[in-house]
Chains A and B, each alone.
Chain A
C-alpha cells in the first residue's frame, strides 16, 4: 500500500491536499495519546501500550495484529528493548478498537496491512518503552533519594550500583505511573541493542505448535450454536424462496435464518448446519448480473483502458517523445484473485442486552466494530470486539463483510452463534484483487529507455476503503509501482483509469505493485530481448542513480550465477532463467527464477534466488521467513491462480480448482539480505511481488513466448503451440 513513510514524508514536504493533513494528524495522534497524560486510576498503566503490574507482569497492548507475519514479536522487541524487560516475561494482547491510541501512523485508520507495521510502529513503540522506563527509574530514584542517572536497568530490575540496591519494576510501578511522563526521552543507541536486530524466537509460536492458540474459528462459548451460510451464487442476487422442510428434519438443526441476500442454518454443531444447508431448497433471484462472464469483464476493462487517464506522475514530456523513434508497446492483464487464507471467514457473535459481542480475527478492529453496529442499528460503543490470532490475512481480514453477515444472522438467534463459511463460500463470496490492465509504451535510444508511458486501469480499492488516499481520481495503491520505478528514464507519464465492474475488490498480498511492477518488469524484458540486450545489463544501464536497486540486482545476479544456463531438470526440456527488480513498500528486492517447461506447457520453478535491502531490520529471522513465504505465495499466483466468472458466478470453489502450491512443487528458495542502515522498509508483500515477473520472464526465456495475461496459460506455451 502506498502510505509508507517515504511517500507520506514526501507528500508532506510537497504540501497541500487532504491526504497530507490526514497523515500529519494521524502521525501525531497515536504518540500524543501514548504519552498517557492521564494515567489510569489503577496507577499501573504507563501509556496505551505498556502495563506493569505489582507482581512484575508486563503486558503489552499491540497495535498491529498477528496473522503470521511476526508482528507480535517484532513490536514486542521494540517495546521490550527500550523498557529493558525480557521477552519471556511479557504478556501481549491485541489492541481494542481505539483510533485515538492505535490508529496507524502509516494507514491513518487502525489497520494492519501493506507491510507497514515495522516502519509505522517501531518508532512510537520504542518511545513508549523508553518513556515508561524513564518513569520507573525516576520513581526508584525518588525512593532512594539518588540521581536517576546513577541507576541502570536490566530484565525488569533497577539497580543502584554504588549502594548495591535493586528493586523490581513492579515495586515502583504504581508510583512511577503517577509521574508526569517526560518528553523527548532519548532512545537507546543501536550499538546497545539486545533485541532489535536480533533473530529472537517468536512469542506466538509455542502455543501454535501444540494447538493451544485460539483463532477466531476456535472460540467456544457456553450455549453457543453453530451456523453456516450461503449467499446468492450470482453476484448481487437475492433470495427468492426457501423450502425449509427437509433441513429441519436433519438431526441437530435448530433454525433457518433467511435474509434478503443469504440463507443460514443454525445447529448444534457445524456438521449438522452444513447438512441442513445442503437439504434446503433455495430459489434465487439472480438479478442483473446473471449474464456476467469473464470475457465480458476482460473486454470491458480493455475498452476502458483506451484512455485517456488521470495523470499520476509526469516527468519530462513522454507523449512527445513517444511520437516517433524505436517504439515498443504492450498490455499486461492481471486476473481477479481470492485471498484463500487457510482459516476461512468466520465470526462468533452474541447479540444481547441492546449490544453485541464479536469474537473474530480482524486486521481492522474499528471497522469490525462499526460494521456490526451498523448491521444492528446501534452505536459502535455498544459493540465489543474480542480480537484473535488470524489464520492468514493477506488482505482478507482488512474487510469486515464476514463480521457484518454473521451479525445480521446472529441478530435472529438467541445466544452466541459461531458462523463458519465453507471453503467454497469463502472463495466465491469475497472481495477480490482487482482485474488490472496495464498498458506500457516506451521509446528506446542507444540501448536505453528514454520515454515511458504506463497506464493502469482497474477497480479502485482505495476509493472505498480509504477515500482520503483516492485523490484527484488516482488510486495511490494501484499506481504505486508505476509512479516510483527504480530506473532513470527521464520522460515518464503514468496514468490511472478507474474502471469498476460488478465485482467487489480488495487489497491482496502485494497490493498495487503486484500489477504495476509485474508489468514494468515484463515490459523491460520484452524490450531487452527484442533489442538483443541481456536483461540484467539492460536493467543496470538504467540504475546509475540508484545504488540500492543496483546493489540487490548485482547481488542476486552473483548468487544465482546469471550468465550461466538454468541447469537440466526432469520437469521439462525447455529451461529458462528470468530476473526482476522492485522498489516498493520502502524496500528493494531482486529475484532470479529458474524454470523448466515440459511439452504440455507445465511450468516448474526449480530455483528462486532473492536479494533484499529492506533497511534496518527488527528480526532477521522473521525477515527471511517473510521473503520465503511471500515468494511462495507469488509462485502460486503466477503459476495457477485466477478467479473467473460465468453466468454471474465465481467458477472456482476449493483448493482443487484454486490451486495453492504444494511442497512437492517447491523450488529451492535462497534469500540474501543486504546489511543496511537505511530507513526501515516493509517485507510482508515484496516477496510476492518480485517473484511473479521473475518467473514470467524465465518462462519467456525458456519458450520465447511472453505471456501477457496471468496466470501462466499452459496452452500458449505447449510445444508447437
Chain B
C-alpha cells in the first residue's frame, strides 16, 4: 500500500483494516501522533487528510486512498500549522504535551478553513480534543493569537 505522509511516499505492507494511527506510529515510526482512547473520544490521534482533521485511531488505513496525510511532524510546513505552533509557544499553551499534537492538528485545520474563528467556531472545532492538564484556557487564547498573526 502506498501512503503519502508529510510529502514523502511510504510503502507499507499492512492489513486494510489497521487504523492509520498504528501504521503511522508502529510501522512508519512517526510517534508524534498519539494514542489516547482508541474510540475517537479524545482527539490525541488527530491527523489531516488533504487538510481535514480526522481521528486516525478509527480510520482504517485502507480508506485513506490517495489523500495526503499530514501529521504533527509535518504540519509546521503549512501556513496555518506554523502559526498555531508559534502561538502555542508564544503563549506557553503546553503542559505535559501529550494531547497537544492532536490539539495543534485540530487548531491548524480550523485556522486554515476559518482564518478568524470566534469562540463558537473554536468550541465546535476543538471539543473533540481532550486535555487532562487543563490547558483549554490557553488553547482558546492560542488560536486567537494565531489568527491575529
* A interface list, Cβ under 8 A from B: 67-70, 201-202, 204-206, 208-215, 217-218, 220, 226, 251, 268-271, 274, 340-344, 389-394, 420, 422-423, 621-622, 625, 628-633, 654-656, 660-664, 666, 669
CA A390 to CA B127, docked complex, whole Å: 24
Complex contact A392–B132 (CB within 8 A): yes
C-alpha gap A654/B36 in the complex (Å):
10
Indicate which residue in B27, B44, B76, B134 contacts A269 across the interface (CB closer than 8 Å): B27
Closest 6 CB pairs of A and B: A211-B32, A632-B134, A391-B98, A68-B96, A208-B97, A68-B95
Q: B17-28 toward A: CB 8 Å interface, digit per residue (1/0)?
A: 011001001110
CA distance A622 to B96 in the complex (A): 12
19 example contacts (A-B, Cβ-Cβ < 8 A) are as follows A202-B94, A208-B94, A210-B73, A211-B32, A211-B73, A212-B73, A213-B97, A217-B31, A218-B32, A220-B29, A269-B27, A274-B38, A391-B96, A629-B133, A632-B134, A654-B38, A655-B42, A663-B127, A663-B131
CB pair B136–A342 under 8 Å, yes or no, is: no
With A343-B34, A629-B134 already in contact, 11 other A-B pairs whose C-beta atoms are closer than 8 Å: A68-B94, A68-B95, A68-B133, A209-B89, A215-B98, A269-B18, A269-B26, A342-B44, A342-B98, A629-B133, A664-B124
Q: Is the CB of B123 within 8 A of A628?
A: no
* B40 to A: closest C-beta gap in Å: 10
Q: Is the CB of A270 within 8 A of B135?
A: no
Shortest C-beta distance, B71 to chain A (Å), equals 7
Report whether A342 and B130 are in contact in the complex, using a CB–CB cutoff of 8 Å.
yes
Of the residues B30, B42, B122, contact of A342 by C-beta under 8 Å: B42
Contact status B130-A660, CB under 8 Å: yes
Say whether B32 contacts A210, CB under 8 Å: yes
Interchain CB contact under 8 A, A202 and B92: yes
CB–CB B95/A662 < 8 A: no
Bound form: Cα–Cα A621–B93 in Å: 10
- Whether the Cβ atoms of A67 and B135 lie closer than 8 Å is no
Instruction: State whether A621 touches B131 (Cβ < 8 A).
Output: no
Contact of B89 among A201, A391, A423, A664 (CB under 8 A): A201
A422 to B34 CA separation, bound complex (whole angstroms): 13
User: Contacts A205-B89, A271-B18, A342-B131; is A211 near B96 (CB within 8 Å)?
Assistant: no
CB contact between B133 and one of A206, A209, A215, A392 (< 8 Å): that residue: A392
Which residues on B sit within 8 Å (CB–CB) of A202? 92, 94
Minimum CB–CB distance for A266 against chain B, Å: 13
> What is the CA–CA distance of A666 and B141 in the complex, to the nearest angstrom?
13
Can you name the residue of chain A whose Cβ is closest to the Cβ of B21? Answer: A271
Chain B residues, Cβ within 8 Å of A391: 34, 96-99
A200 closest partner in B (C-beta) = B92
Which of B27, B39, B96, B126 is in CB contact (< 8 Å) with A392? B96
Nearest-Cβ distance from residue A531 to partner chain B, whole angstroms: 35
Taking the closest CB of chain A, its distance from the CB of B59, in whole angstroms, is 12
Query: Closest approach, in angstroms, between the C-beta of B146 and any C-beta of chain A?
Result: 12
Q: Which residues of A contact B85 (CB under 8 A)?
A: 209-210
Nearest-neighbour CB distance to chain A for B141, whole angstroms, equals 10
Contacts of B133 in A (CB 8 A): 68, 392, 629, 632-633
B134 to chain A, nearest CB (A): 3
User: B1 at the A/B interface (Cβ < 8 Å)?
Assistant: no
Tell me the B residues contacting A by CB distance below 8 Å: 15, 18-19, 22, 25-27, 29-39, 41-42, 44, 71-73, 76, 85, 88-89, 92, 94-101, 104, 122-124, 126-140
Contact across chains for B73 and A633 when beta carbons are under 8 A apart: no
Q: Say whether B94 contacts A394, CB under 8 Å.
A: no
Interface-central residue, B95, B126, B128, B138, by most chain A CB under 10 Å: B95
A210 and B96: CB pair below 8 A?
Answer: no
Of B27, B33, B94, B128, which one neighbours A209 at CB under 8 angstroms?
B94
Knowing A392-B133, A669-B137, the reply to whether A208 touches B100 (Cβ < 8 A) is yes
A268 to B13, CA, bound (A): 12
Contact call B127/A205, Cβ cutoff below 8 A: no
Contact B37–A423 (Cβ < 8 Å): yes
Contact A209 B140 (CB under 8 A): no
With A270-B35, A423-B37, A654-B41 known to touch, is A625 a contact of B136 (CB < 8 Å)?
A: no
Chain B contacts of A660 at CB under 8 A?
Answer: 42, 130-132
CB-CB < 8 A to B135: which residues of A?
A: 625, 628-629, 632
Which residue on A lies nearest to B26, using beta carbons? A269
Smallest CB gap from B71: residue in A: A211
> When the two chains form the complex, which single residue of A68, A271, A422, A661 contacts B97, counting CB atoms closer than 8 Å?
A68
Given the known A-B contacts A68-B133, A654-B37, are A212 and B32 also in contact in the complex, defined by CB atoms under 8 Å? yes
Flag if B22 contacts A666 (CB, 8 Å): no
B72–A211 touching, CB < 8 Å:
yes
In this complex, what residue of A is CB-closest to B76? Answer: A210
Residue of A nearest to B126 (CB): A663
Contact status A342-B132, CB under 8 Å: yes
The listed residue (A206, A217, A393, A628) touching B134 by CB distance below 8 A is A628
Residues of chain A with a CB closer than 8 A to B96's CB: 67-68, 341-343, 389-393
Q: Closest A-chain residue to B37, C-beta based?
A: A423
Query: Would you give the shortest CB distance from A447 to chain B, in whole angstroms?
Result: 37
Complexed CA–CA distance, A656 and B96 (Å): 22
CB-CB nearest in chain A for B87: A209
Contact A271 B92 (CB under 8 A): no
Residues of B within 8 A of A218 (CB): 25, 31-32
A420–B96 Cα distance when bound, in Å, is: 19
Give B126 Cβ to nearest chain A Cβ, in Å. 5
Contacts known (A220-B31, A669-B137); A343 close to B98, Cβ less than 8 A: yes
Q: Would A269 and B22 count as touching, CB distance under 8 A? A: yes
Q: Which residue of B lies closest to A634 (CB)?
A: B134
Report the bound CA distance from A436 to B95 in whole Å. 30
Residues of B close to A209: CB separation below 8 A: 85, 88-89, 94, 97, 100, 104
**CB proximity of A65 to chain B, nearest CB, Å:** 11
A654 lies within 8 A of B39 (CB): yes
CA distance in complex: A251, B22 (Å): 14
Q: Is the CB of B127 within 8 A of A662?
A: yes
- In the bound complex, how far is the Cα of B15 from the Cα of A655, in angstroms? 28
The answer to whether B132 and A394 have CB atoms under 8 Å apart is: yes
A423 to B36 Cα, complex, angstroms: 7
Q: Which of B35, B71, B136 interacts with A217 by CB under 8 Å? A: B35
A274 and B34 CA atoms in complex are apart in Å by: 16
CA distance A270 to B27 in the complex (A): 10
Q: Which of chain A's residues have a CB closer than 8 A to the CB of B97?
A: 68, 204-205, 208-209, 213, 389, 391
Interface centre among A215, A274, A663 (most CB of B within 10 A): A663
Q: In chain B, what residue has the closest Cβ to A210?
A: B76
Measured between alpha carbons, how far is A447 from B85 in the docked complex, in Å?
55
Other-chain contact of A341, B31, B41, B98 (Cβ < 8 Å): B98
Provide the residues of chain B in CB contact with A633, threshold 8 Å.
132-134
CA distance in complex: A662, B29 (Å): 30
User: With the chains together, A662 CA to B131 CA distance in Å?
Assistant: 8
| B101/A628 in contact, CB under 8 A | no
**A269 CA / B26 CA spacing, docked (Å):** 6
A26 to B102, CA, bound (A): 41
If A210-B76, A655-B42, A664-B123 touch, does A205 touch B32 (CB 8 Å cutoff)? no
A183 to B142, CA, bound (A): 47
- What separation, in Å, do the CA atoms of A302 and B134 have in the docked complex? 33
Q: What is the distance, in angstroms, from A52's C-beta to the closest C-beta of chain B? A: 28
